[in-house]
Each structure stands twice: as structure tokens, then as C-alpha cells.
Amino acid sequence: MNLADLNKIAVAMVAPGKGILAADESTGTIKKRFDAIGTDNTEDNRRDYRELMFRTTEAMSKYISGVILYDETIWQKAKDGTPLVELIKKTGAIPGIKVDEGTKPLPQCPGELITVGLDKLADRLPKYYEQGARFAKWRAVIDIGDGIPSHTAIMTNAHALARYAALCQQAQIVPIVEPEVLMDGAHDIDRCYEVTQWVLKETFQQLYFQRVELEGIVLKPNMAVPGKKSAKKASVEEVAEKTVRMLKDCVPGAVPGIAFLSGGQSDEEATAHLDAMNKIGNLPWKLTFSYGRALQAAPQKAWSGKSENVAAAQRAFTHRAMMNGLASLGEWKSSLEKQAA
């Protein structure tokens, strides 16, 4: 393992004004997105949709530092025969790969899940590296509900995240460590804070036990937000203040950067929260985005599976990427105020 090279990639992934495009939806997940816009979930349509984003030169070169790909996508070629990985590289962005294989019920823990895919991961990683991937992603899912999460679920998922991270670094691939506390429930922001703090502390303990070098990772956590069904809402300022406080309590300064997941927030909510956090300042790590839906909902709707809509979809993607790029600098709200004036 060459830690200096891993650190160089990790630092580039959280470069000022840039963030990560999460284009790693599974075939089943992207079907839901395509169903919503009346588009058939075919391999060609999946390729065409992702290709239109990777060819959006302004967005990719100015605001996107890296792209998380699904296994199907990393091997695909564009319509003209160019490997999609090469399209990404040409813009200066770094190709990455989702390596977990989804979730399964956690034995003896009703309602809780464990992420799978560690078997043969050591064999798969060198192939992804050869194909151009320089970072990877593994998502652990923690739900909040009646009597959950359990210590078993948190510890087991944190251990798997750490094992994955160690294997990635051994293969000279930067691991994105993604422990996601879901926002699907009726819990308030304080319960989210409490559980996420627990999850992060256990995750970093397990990373230490597995001898993972923190200078060569990127953390992808959820923000401290109320559940979608919560009657008690939180302001942008409260989300920013509590999320930063939580991270300062849990995340060592050796970590180069934190790239938030959007986790079901609306486009503008995810942008506003990131912007407010970066306005706080005096942070030991870079704070940026690793968004899927919050970057893609608008271009998907504009595209709707029609080739004549590609330009409109690219404009929508550029706009969302630019807004989040500004938010990663704490300049989003001020830029809107200038436009309004």
C-alpha cells in the first residue's frame, strides 16, 4: 500500500468546489427512477442516461471530482465505442466503483440489515483497479425504529465497513466509508444525532482495529436530520450546527474529507444544509457532497428517455452540480441573493 498515493486521490475527491456524483444505482433502483419518467429500464437506456451526464463537460470538469459507478457501467462503452470510464477521465474526474452487493436481513435482529459482498472482494478489487477505478464505495444501512438499532446491527455493519476499507487500501483503492442512518422514520433530529454519533464512533473504532489509514479514506455519512415522518421539523441552521458538532465529536482530523449522502432530502434541502455547514468554518476536514438523487432528479425528469431532450438534461445537471459546488464552498446562498438583487 502506498499511503501517499491514496491520500492524493482522497484529497482530489474532496477538492474545493467539487463533489462526487453517485451514479451507482442498481438495476432495480434505476428502474424505479425510470418508471417515474416513463422510460424503459434497458441496458441501452441506462448507458445513454449515464453517458449524457459524463459528456456534460462543464459540470464534470468544474464541479465533479469523481463518479461512483455500478458494476454494469464500469464495463460499458458509449455509443461511439469509447469506454465510459475514459469519458469520465477526460473531464478530469476520477472513476470509482460500488463494491457492496446490497443488504440481507441480519440474523436474530428483526427489522435490521447487514451489507454483504466481502466474499471474493479481494479478488474483484484488482480487476476494478485495472479498469480504471481509483476509489470504491460500500454502504451500511442503519434504521431507527421501535427498539432499533441494536448494538449487534451497528457493530456488525461497522466491522464489515472496516474490513472492506482495509481490503481497498491493500488494493491501492481509496475506500468511501458510508454508514447511513436512514431518515425514513418518525424520529426527531436529536434521535438521529444520538444514533449517528453511536454509529460513527463504532465505525472509527473498527477502522482502527482493521489498521485502516484514515488519511486514505473519504467518509460518506448522513446529516443530522429529522425522519421524514417526524412532526418536529428542523431549520437549516439547526441541521448544520448539529451535524458539524456531531462530526467534530466523532471524526478524526486525519480524514481528508467528508462527502455527504443526500439520503432522501430534496435537491434544495441537501444543497442548503451543505452550504450552511461550510459557512460555519474552522473545520478540520473538507465538507462536500456525494449525491445521487439530489444531483440527478432534475436531469432525469428533463431527459425522460428522449434523445431530443439530452441538451436540456445536461443543462439541468450542470445547474445542480454548480449549486452544490457553490455549497461546498459556503457560497450558495450568497450567490442566490446576488442573483435576486
Of residues 275, 317, 270, the one with CA closest to residue 290: 270
143: Cα within 13 Å, side-chain hemisphere: 17
Neighbours of 4 (CB within 10 A): 9
C-alpha cell of residue 149: 438499532
Annotated catalytic residue 338: no
Per-residue exposure over 209-225, b if at least 16 CB sit within 10 Å of its own CB, e if not: ebebbbebbbbbbbbbb
Question: How many angstroms separate the CA atoms of 167 and 50, rounded?
Answer: 28
CA distances from 241 to 213, 224, 225 (A): 28, 9, 11
E strand or H helix that includes residue 240 = helix 236-250
Of residues 214, 185, 283, 216, the one with CA closest to residue 243: 283
> Which of 98, 137, 220, 242 is labelled catalytic?
220
> Which of 25, 51, 178, 202 is labelled catalytic?
178
152 Cβ contact partners less than 8 Å away, ≥ 6 residues apart = 106, 108, 109, 112
C-alpha cell of residue 80: 461511439
Annotated catalytic residue 79: no
Catalytically active residues are 178, 220
